[in-house]
Chains A and B, each alone.
Chain A
């Protein structure tokens, strides 16, 4: 893919400490237009803290975040119009119907023709049948689809997906990935994607960044990382093996 002069996301020396714990320890990475970056690491590696910094809800101790060339914290109200996210951790408004919740988010993102746009995203994620149902009445998988509808509602330039399909059965994940890939191509969305399901990342990511103890310890395409860490001769990516090797290697180094 041709590299755009201004990355959609540019993170430089980002650092965040909670007490004595270094959650994020000077990481730098960037994301170009239309690229999907897998953001991997074990539990507590600093992935969610990084994403929360990118959403502007955690203030970093040091470093810089630029979205569409603009410093995030100085331009949050302008920049966040082009950003969205989906996380298994946060609900969409539980006590509202799907349509009502999406209307509220559409207004928050300043979407003009919101009725048409809501129908479009519900069609895209095959969720039209839930339009007038309360979100609390939906199954886990259906709710995740609604969260994804919310995530692409504003046709974001940057989409942050923090384990969007955690705890879902493989069939739902498979369908979800298919839809995400389709929508991503259609709108040329740049995506930062975290998951503990390595197959999910192999399916979607152009590049992968591996973090542990708040630091980036490896990066490359899924195949490059597999060749580098597992088997130089391989022709197929195997991020599961990469994940295990890198996590253990780094933890042992940490113990030494």
Chain B
């Protein structure tokens, strides 16, 4: 892997972010506004059910990690498509692996900034610190980021293959899977048939694990390893799908028409 080329991709998006208010808003303003709105609502609801606010705010913060990383990878790829700049990048020596690593690094930096801002805001307004989860938060991060990156690569593959018109799916897919992800309620609340879908999603196990840790102070290693196993499976499948799509668009000549 050539680090200079990976750095070039990171730099490209750093420069873009510096000039575009909407990217800064996407990174800071929207996560904070969401947290403040739902945080106050749940603080109010706290009166009806103990621990509800901490479950909800914790879930909000972890959901942002997943949602922002997955959309960032897809959207940053689309920026190069929208600006007709993709071929300028791919016609250098850069490998697709280096390009994707660059996009993932950009997403991680952005989500780290969102995470830090949300951590501070949740502490100041709601006296809740996500860091109280302790070391398990690292495990939650790992599984959330792997699944988000997997979804991000999937988004890149489908935009590459079917073009810009399918781009909005990048924003839609996380919200399609959200009801099954046990973000704000446990899997057990869902009807049996929907629980099957939930159990097949790594992030459902992450959020179940988070609620367990917030409730008991202990770490559920079973949920962690199930999530990790599922993540590895989906990652391998999606990387194979991406490789197939990339080879296909080069054969069809559609990469240059994006």
Residues of A within 8 A of B (CB): 16, 18, 23, 49, 52, 55-59, 76-81, 83, 85, 87, 89-97, 100, 103-110, 134, 150
The contact of B85 among A52, A93, A97, by CB within 8 Å, is A93
- How many residue pairs link A and B with beta carbons under 8 A? The number is 102
CB distance from B128 to the nearest CB of A (A): 37
Looking at the assembled complex, report how far the CB atom of B15 sits from the nearest CB atom of chain A, in whole angstroms.
Answer: 4
The number of chain B residues touching the other chain, given as a range, is 20 to 34
Residue pair B91, A57 in contact (C-beta under 8 Å): yes
CA distance A59 to B255 in the complex (A): 10
B14-44 contact mask (Cβ, 8 Å, vs A): 1 or 0: 0110011000000000000000000000000
Decide yes or no whether B185 CB sits under 8 A from chain A. no
In the complex, what distance in Å separates the CA atom of A56 from the CA atom of B228? 36
Q: Which residue of B lies closest to A111 (CB)?
A: B4
Q: How far is the CA of A93 from the CA of B8 in the complex (A)?
A: 12
**With contact pairs A55-B91, A96-B15 given, residues A110 and B2 touching in the complex (Cβ less than 8 Å):** yes
A105 to B253, CA, bound (A): 24
In the complex, chain B residues whose CB is within 8 Å of the CB of A80: 91-93
Residue from the list B11, B84, B88 in contact with A107, Cβ < 8 A: B11
Q: How far is the CB of B35 from chain A (nearest CB, A)?
A: 29
User: Judging by beta carbons under 8 Å apart, are A108 and B87 in contact?
Assistant: no
**Given that A90-B84, A100-B15 are contacting pairs, would A52 and B92 also be in contact in the complex, using a CB cutoff of 8 Å?**
no
Q: Which of B45-53, B115-123, B244-252 contacts A (4 or more CB under 8 A)?
A: B244-252
**CA distance in complex: A57, B93 (Å):** 11
Q: Which residues of B contact A109 (CB under 8 A)?
A: 92-93
Which residues of the other chain, A, contact B2 by a CB distance below 8 angstroms? Answer: 77, 110
- Is A107 touching B7 in the complex (CB atoms < 8 A)? yes
Instruction: Tell me whether A57 and B250 are in contact (CB under 8 A).
Output: yes
Q: Are B91 and A56 in contact (CB under 8 A)?
A: yes
Q: Using known A-B contacts A77-B95, A108-B5, determine if residue A57 contacts B90 with beta carbons closer than 8 Å.
A: yes
Contact A104–B8 (Cβ < 8 Å): yes
**B253 A96 Cβ-Cβ under 8 A:** no
Give 1 or 0 for each of B222-255: 1 = CB within 8 Å of chain A CB: 0000000000000000000000000100111101
Contact across chains for B253 and A52 when beta carbons are under 8 A apart = yes
